[in-house]
Amino acid sequence: MAKMEAGVVYGEKYQELLQSCKDGGYALPAVNVVGSNSINAVMEAAAKNESDIIVQLSNGGAQFMAGQGMADGDAAKVIGAVAAANHVHLLAKYYGVCVVLHTDHANRKLLPWIDGLVAAGVEYYEKHGRPLYSSHMLDLSEEALDDNLSTCAEYLKKIVPLEMSLEIELGVTGGEEDGVGSDDDITDNAKLYTQPDEVLQAYNLLSPIGHFSIAASFGNVHGVYKPGNVQLRPEILKSSQELVARTHGTSANPLDLVFHGGSGSEKAKIEEAIGYGVIKMNIDTDTQFAFATAVGAYVEKTPRAFSYQIDPDDDKPYKSVYDPRKWLRQGELSMVERLNEACADLRSGGKSLAKS
């Protein structure tokens, strides 16, 4: 693959990046963010590992980015996502890696959020000649397959002129992700396993329209659960790839597949899934925990600094301790450390196309 310019990638360059993943046997960490601290930590980790990266926002993450004091929550979801994207566009090239901008899990009730972002994307494209986001995700997996796919086709037609891609979900990823899904019935649920013929139906409908990726469920669940409570079956991905390739006479692994609910997954299952064409693994729960534990440890180490500005016993000032830059930085560093592990698990380290 030819070297790419560092910064946000989209369109043909995004597709080239995904093909590089499949050809090179690696996948990109896709990390949910909620503000500039987590965005910067993700890009710092990418630069440190010389790994291309995916920065993604859920509807709640976007709303938090805009500020929870904003009275109109629906507007905040759009404005926050636009603000986050502009932040990444401004800084990504300085981190020296390729960054994909993506939104995560929009079900039927969240389509107005995507509509708002498409409208903002049209305005951005007209002004800058590039899309605001590399891709959006629709999660209509709890609906009938025909309804799911017809809506996805409708949105793919809208964003193709903006040089964007679409991620869809087939089958249900267990657990709950920012208001989408639930924590009920995470075991013995047939919907946790996508059928290859459903994947073929999606390919038949969407591939003539534009580029898309598929979050096909193979038992994956959002969050972290005790061992044995989640049964991953990556062979479903293999069967889906083989069916599409056989039906359409394509080369091996024609699908760009996505691994949702990656936090806490067995490393052997991650490696197997990559071999079947997974190019992206979502990480949220583990990076949230990494950030939180580091901040908690910092507070526990100097608890009086978070109760007093000046120590009542010895008049010691604590401003240099409770300065938000100090404890937020600890969270960032811990998040970077967790993403070092993710880059190693996904074998993306040292493979940035901006470094080739």
CATH number at residue 78: 3.20.20.70
- The answer as to whether 333 is a domain residue is yes
Compute CA distances 276 → 137, 196, 301, 347, whole Å: 21, 13, 45, 14
Catalytic: 345?
no
Cα–Cα distance, 56 to 50 (Å, whole number):
19
Please tell me the total count of domains within the chain. Answer: 1
Spell out, as residue ranges, where the chain has pLDDT lower than 50: 174-189, 224-228
Of residues 52, 72, 104, 311, which has the active-site annotation? 104
- The answer as to whether 354 is a domain residue is no
- The answer as to whether 145 is a domain residue is yes
Q: Which residues pair with 100 in a beta bridge?
A: 54
Q: Domain range for residue 315?
A: 7-346
φ, ψ for residue 69 (rounded to 5)?
Answer: -80, -10
Give the per-residue pLDDT at 262: 57
The pTM score is 0.91
Compute CA distances 132 → 100, 101, 354, whole Å: 11, 8, 20
For residue 21, the SS3 value is helix
Residue pointed to by tokens 């899990």: 105
- The answer as to whether 109 is a domain residue is yes
- The answer as to whether 330 is a domain residue is yes
